[in-house]
Amino acid sequence: ASSLLKMSQVVRSATLGKRSQQWLGSLRTTLAMGCGPWAWSSRQESGLSRESRRWPRVPQPSGGAETGVRGALAVTLNVNAKDERLRQVMDVITRHLHAAVKEIEPTQEEWMQAIQFLTATGHKCDDWRQEYILLSDVLGVSMLVDAINSRRPAGASENTVLGPFHIGGTPEYEMGTNICLDGKGEDMVVRGRVLDIDGNPLEGVKIDVWQANDEGFYDVQQKGIQPDFNLRGVFRTGADGSYWFRAVRPKFYSVPTDGPVGKLLDDLGRHGNRPAHLHYIVSKDGFDEVTTHLFDPDDPYIDSDAVFGVKKSLIADFNRVDDPARIAEVGFEGDHYWDVEFDFVLAPKG
């Protein structure tokens, strides 16, 4: 057991965070007190088969389940995990799950309700619907995972959720093209530049954009009502790093609420709305790809996005233009349009 202890110290300092280190420290104390989970030698002596010798023995807690000891001990069965990262992940999840159950003290009925919720969430998933991603979105976990994986230098454009409505095969257009294919909604011009972190314009940047229409629906949600690829387009910046295209002002919409996640939101007294936004994927070789949105600051849900996707730096200005000369200049025929200017800054791949 002592060489195993040494080994666990090496693994601990090499790969685990401070909190995990504290936890392993307390496990070490437990072992030192003589109730450790590793019992190879006594099993070897008792002549058990090689296979059974490989399993650590989990001591029984003396003070009942409430002592919380089981949470720490359950993970000791994972010492033979084939993958160290898997072991780490399951150790953390097991400990936190035990802590949550200890704090909540669910009844058997409540625990069954939780299991039924997860079962229903799985049943709602198919090739077109991923209810678990939606669950992760409305719990703010998708944004957290993204934040962990997209740390960028100050000044670089920030990411937000991808969402389920991005599709491949979107046509590439000339700059200035109107991506609204059915003429419905209030006209809008979106324009700006793509720059590197030092402020230099970036040429040939791919800008993949998609948005909901003026009623809050994506084309893929209204097959046969909206034309295919409505309000989607791919553009490439010119030598001065600039881009512009025409579209219509998007409207807020609800995430799908006809499944268990929608019921959960309802039971929690939460709405499922996302403030009006345009989606962007901005990419160029050698630079960190940016998957993000532009948000409309005047949207009623700008401060309560159901999936926590709003970031201050992604809120654009939507300026109303009524000047007939400017309306004619951008090729619209109505009595006004919305002008949105937004620059992107790409960080070098790191």
Chain residues binding ligand BEZ by CB under 6 A are 134, 137, 161, 163-165, 255, 274, 307
The residues near 90 (Cβ < 8 Å, ≥ 6 apart) are: 75, 78, 81
Nearer to Fe ion, 68 or 164 (CB): 164
Question: Is the backbone of residue 199 left (phi > 0), alpha (psi -120 to 50) or beta?
Answer: left
Interaction partner, residue 137 (ligand BEZ, Fe ion, none; CB < 5-8 Å by kind): ligand BEZ
d(CA 93, CA 103): 15
Nearer to Fe ion, 163 or 192 (CB): 163
What's the closest the beta carbon of residue 157 comes to ligand BEZ, in angstroms? Answer: 17
Question: Is the backbone of residue 331 left (phi > 0), alpha (psi -120 to 50) or beta?
Answer: left
d(CA 192, CA 242): 6
DSSP three-state, residue 191 = strand
Nearer to Fe ion, 163 or 272 (CB): 163
What's the closest the beta carbon of residue 150 comes to ligand BEZ, in angstroms? Answer: 16
d(CA 147, CA 150): 5
Question: Per rule CB under 5 A, is residue 163 in the interface with Fe ion?
Answer: yes
What's the closest the beta carbon of residue 82 comes to ligand BEZ, in angstroms? Answer: 34
Nearer to ligand BEZ, 61 or 164 (CB): 164
Interaction partner, residue 91 (Fe ion, ligand BEZ, none; CB < 5-8 Å by kind): none
Interaction partner, residue 307 (Fe ion, ligand BEZ, none; CB < 5-8 Å by kind): ligand BEZ
What's the closest the beta carbon of residue 91 comes to ligand BEZ, in angstroms? Answer: 30
What's the closest the beta carbon of residue 274 comes to ligand BEZ, in angstroms? Answer: 5
d(CA 207, CA 180): 16
Measure the CA angle with vertex 324, ends 319 and 326; round to 5°.
55
Query: Which positions lie near Fe ion, rule CB under 5 A?
Result: 163
